[in-house]
């Protein structure tokens, strides 16, 4: 999805880190309780230091909804996260994304037109009333609204199992998007076999499947993935264990199935954080998730050896767009009385997306 962020004035791009820090401190002080800054776990430290709250995407959106006094919510994350915050916050609040080009490649792999076309194609070969659409939190507000209208729900990496169990109480199969790996890994965890799952390729007629495959599948998994988590492989695990036979491998469920199977622990970003906190002093832990979180955990737990499972290190390139210069810019514009980079979701989309989110909250 194309988003156009205007270049920052030279006064921001040329400023030193110390100068930007002083200006951010001054801007936050001037705005006081009118502004609340959210920092996603994958943000770089230079940004996270200014966060009034840190967490995963949905957790931060819920925190934002509780900040009734704050007029401005500055979300240091990516576009779909800011959309969710706009949906859940009050009409008096404005959600701001410091860099409009901070998107999510996974979320962009499933757009509304493609999902609607898939839905219509599936309806031609099977009873569509027995198909439940489930969208991962990492998706646009438009897709959240789609599942809201079609009787489905949103899920996170923490509650995907509960949401899928809910779906199978209401239908015979699920259309799961945009991340095939979370759907597959969760389905296997629930006891379903890989033979009950098919990948839906939106670029091909009927998703690249024949009618029998569509009818017999329990899971139709969208051909989407996280560009970071797909990098982690079984070979990485084998190399780590060769060097650290007693080491622990903790993996995010957006990783490929074979990587998940070879890991010791699997779970969301919050799960990974808890696993590190619970590990004894001296533990050696390889983590398969975004490098900024891994490095932050290593710094916060110096009594443990914490490394990235991928030695080449791969940051989330879109999340990485948020920096202290962009944060300083949006804050200083607010001080000057100008709201820039506001993220808004139209009323109808927000209404149906909220339905899907509230169904999820009712499940867990």
pLDDT tens-digit profile of 285-306?
999 998 889 999 999 999 999 9
Work out the pLDDT band at 351, boundaries 50, 70, 90.
very high
- What's the CA gap between 85 and 184, in Å, rounded? 28
Q: Residue 93 — pLDDT band, cuts 50, 70, 90?
A: very high
Please check the confidence at residue 56 and state whether its pLDDT lies above 70: yes
d(CA 19, CA 13): 11
The domains of the chain are located at 10-102+318-344, 107-226, 229-308
> Looking at domain 107-226, what is its CATH homologous superfamily?
NadA-like (3.40.50.10800)
Please give the share of the chain, as a percent, with pLDDT higher than 90.
81
Q: Provide the pLDDT for residue 191.
A: 97
Mean pLDDT of 89-117: 92
pLDDT over 70 at 177, yes or no: yes
In CATH, the number for domain 229-308 is 3.40.50.10800
The set of residues, in sequence order, having a beta carbon less than 8 Å from that of 334 and lying 6+ positions away, is 27, 31, 34, 35, 72, 96
Q: Give helix 347-363 / helix 160-168 axis angle, nearest 10°.
A: 90
**CA-closest candidate to residue 45, choices 265, 292, 280, 363:** 292
Arithmetic mean of pLDDT over the chain? 93
Report if pTM > 0.85.
yes
Is 60 exceeded by the pLDDT of residue 1? Answer: no
Looking at domain 10-102+318-344, which CATH architecture does it have?
3-Layer(aba) Sandwich (3.40)
pLDDT in tens, 200-210: 999 999 999 99
pLDDT in tens, 224-246: 998 888 899 999 999 999 999 99
Contacts of 152 by beta carbon, 8 Å cutoff, 6+ apart:
132, 133, 134, 135, 146, 167, 356, 359
What was the pLDDT predicted at 364? 60
Between 102 and 313, where is the model more confident? 102
- pLDDT of the residue at 290: 87
Tens digits of per-residue pLDDT, 15-44?
A: 999 999 999 999 999 999 999 999 988 888
Q: Is the dihedral of CA 14, 54, 135, 197 positive or negative?
A: positive
């Amino acid at each position: 999805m194309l988003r156009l962020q205007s270049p920052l004035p030279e006064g921001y791009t040329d400023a030193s880190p110390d100068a930007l820090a002083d200006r951010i401190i001054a801007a936050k002080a001037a705005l006081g309780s009118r502004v609340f800054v959210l920092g996603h776990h994958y943000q770089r430290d230079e940004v996270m230091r200014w966060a009034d709250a840190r967490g995963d995407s949905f957790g931060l959106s819920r925190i934002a909804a509780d900040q009734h006094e704050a007029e401005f919510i500055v979300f240091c994350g990516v576009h779909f996260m800011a959309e969710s915050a706009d949906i859940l916050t009050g009409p008096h609040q404005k959600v701001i994304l410091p860099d409009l080009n901070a998107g999510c490649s996974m979320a962009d792999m499933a757009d509304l037109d493609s999902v609607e076309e898939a839905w219509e194609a599936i309806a031609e070969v099977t009873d569509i009333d027995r198909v439940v659409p489930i969208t991962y939190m990492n998706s646009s507000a438009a897709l959240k609204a789609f599942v809201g209208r079609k009787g489905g729900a949103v899920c996170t990496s923490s509650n995907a199992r509960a949401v899928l169990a809910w779906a199978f109480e209401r239908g015979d199969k699920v259309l799961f998007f945009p991340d095939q790996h979370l759907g597959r890994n969760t389905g296997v965890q629930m006891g379903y076999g890989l033979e009950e799952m098919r990948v839906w390729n939106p670029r091909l007629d009927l998703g690249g499947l024949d009618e029998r495959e569509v009818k017999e599948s329990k899971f139709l998994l969208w051909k989407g993935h996280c560009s970071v988590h797909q990098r982690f492989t079984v070979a990485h695990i084998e190399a780590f264990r060769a060097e650290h036979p007693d080491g622990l491998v903790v993996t995010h469920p957006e990783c490929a199935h074979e990587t998940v199977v070879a890991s010791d622990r699997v779970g969301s970003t919050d799960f990974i954080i808890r696993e590190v906190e619970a590990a004894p002093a001296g533990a050696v832990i390889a983590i398969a998730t975004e490098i900024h979180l891994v490095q932050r955990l290593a710094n916060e737990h110096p009594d443990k050896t914490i490394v990235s499972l991928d030695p080449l290190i791969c940051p989330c390139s879109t999340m990485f767009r948020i920096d202290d210069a962009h944060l300083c810019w949006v804050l200083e514009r607010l001080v000057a009385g100008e709201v820039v980079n506001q993220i808004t979701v139209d009323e109808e989309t927000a209404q149906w997306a909220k339905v899907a989110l509230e169904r999820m909250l009712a499940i867990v």
